[in-house]
């Protein structure tokens, strides 16, 4: 016997479920690609896999979906070259500007999405009940990664917007015990906006063994970035 009709319910058996997951995810991704190519349409899928720390996103580089905007951006100049500065082309110009602004927002959104997914993944991993010290530490170093990236960006001169302000903020420190005390900031609070009571949320996670914390920590962050449009 090879195959019976699929019972559309949660597969209880762990290994069978994982096998099915892998197969069907692959199939799904293929279908997405096919739909895109066959019909010339932008399509994207996100799967919050319990088997990977980060969600699967397809296509791997969703920014490809932005070709339309890019194409559009190139248009107005051609229109303008005719020196036909009528109302329509004027609006085109305006929209182009707005599209540029939009790109900026998208960049910001990416960062927020990353934060969101970071939380989701860590919280979802192994069920809610099982969120112990290990997971908290994982969360801590993931946050540290994001933190470093942001600090780097601030240093690189993108001090406009929230960046500069964040750099001046004083951080509340939560010491998880042991280890060398490191003072770091929590710029996420800035992104998230202040609470309704005006309270500032700042966090720091210190690990007991944080001496070599700066080594070998980039992979996840890079994966993350790759998964989301960068």
| Residues forming the site for DNA (CB under 7 A) | 1-6, 14-16, 18-20, 22-24, 26-28, 30-31, 34, 38
Residue 34 C-beta: closest distance to DNA, Å? 7
Rule CB under 8 A: choose which of 63, 119, 153, 154 binds a second copy. 119
Binding at 4: pick from a second copy, DNA, none (beta carbon under 5-8 Å per type): DNA
Helix/strand/coil for 57? strand
Stretch that binds a second copy, among 87-95, 144-152, 213-221, 222-230 (CB under 8 A): 87-95
Residue 46 C-beta: closest distance to DNA, Å? 17
Question: CA 128 to CA 197: how far, in whole Å?
Answer: 28
Question: CA 70 to CA 65: how far, in whole Å?
Answer: 10
Buried b (16+ CB within 10 A) or exposed e, 114-147: bbebbeebbeebeeeeebeeeeebbbbbbbbbbb
* Binding-site string for a second copy from residue 169 to residue 188, where x marks contact by CB under 8 A and - marks none: -----xxxx----------x
Nearer CB in complex with DNA: 13/219 = 13
**Cβ proximity of 221 and 146 under 8 Å:** yes
């Amino acid at each position: 016997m090879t195959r019976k009709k699929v019972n559309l319910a949660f597969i209880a058996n762990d290994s069978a479920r994982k096998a099915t997951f892998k197969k069907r995810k692959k199939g799904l991704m293929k279908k997405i690609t096919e739909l895109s190519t066959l019909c010339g349409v932008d399509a994207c899928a996100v799967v919050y896999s319990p088997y990977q720390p980060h969600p699967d996103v397809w296509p791997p580089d969703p920014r490809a979906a932005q070709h339309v905007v890019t194409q559009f951006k190139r248009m107005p100049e051609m229109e303008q070259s005719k020196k036909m500065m009528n109302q329509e082309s004027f609006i085109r110009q305006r929209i182009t500007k707005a599209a540029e602004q939009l790109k900026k927002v998208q960049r910001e959104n990416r960062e927020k999405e990353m934060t969101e997914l970071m939380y989701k993944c860590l919280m979802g991993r192994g069920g809610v009940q099982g969120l112990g010290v290990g997971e908290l530490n994982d969360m801590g170093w993931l946050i540290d990664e994001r933190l470093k990236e942001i600090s780097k960006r601030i240093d690189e001169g993108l001090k406009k917007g929230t960046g500069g302000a964040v750099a001046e903020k004083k951080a509340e420190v939560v010491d998880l015990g042991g280890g060398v005390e490191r003072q770091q900031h929590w710029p996420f609070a800035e992104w998230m906006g202040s609470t309704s009571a005006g309270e500032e949320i700042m966090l720091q996670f210190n690990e007991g063994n944080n001496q070599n914390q700066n080594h070998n920590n980039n992979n996840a962050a890079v994966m993350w970035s790759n998964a989301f449009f960068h």
